[in-house]
Homo-oligomer: A and B are copies of this chain.
Amino acid sequence: MIRNLTEQDKEHLQEALVKSGQKVTPQREAVFTVLLAERDHPTVDEVFNRAREVMPGLSLATVYNCLETFVGCGLVRQVNHERESTRYCPNLAPHAHFRDKETGQVHDIELPPEVMKSLRSILPPGFDSEVIEISFLGRAQAKDTHSN
């Protein structure tokens, strides 16, 4: 695990950072690598602990900073469930989140455009929404090993 970024991932990272006037740094690469390695919606602490394995001097503050930067330039999404610690998701496709009440795992749920449309359609006139968050809470049959 924590295999390296592909060239494509590196370009993605660099482009998004540079486009918003920021730099690629070893810390940012390490944090981004962690996010792409296991798409299990880790918390800041989980990202921190995983990233430290490959960059021991990394600080928690920097992990917060990197993740904030990534959110700011659209590289990752924040995922909140009730009052739990914020989690991070590098899946840029429109999707909802399903949290397993038993395991706490968070799964991505694909969100077809037709459903998005039906959601937008329930807004009364005068309401304009940029962001729609959808989260399910329930139980998922543990039939996959790869957490996503």
Contact = CB atoms under 8 A, between A and B. Distances in A.
Interface of A: 78, 80, 82-83, 86, 96, 98, 101, 107, 109-112, 114-115, 118-119, 121-141, 143
A128 B102 CA distance: 12
A82 B134 CA distance: 12
15 contacts: A96-B122, A101-B130, A109-B124, A115-B118, A115-B121, A119-B134, A126-B140, A127-B136, A127-B141, A128-B140, A130-B138, A131-B137, A132-B137, A133-B133, A133-B135
A86 B83 CA distance: 8
Contacts of A109: 122-124, 127
A129 B124 contact: no
Contacts of A125: 141
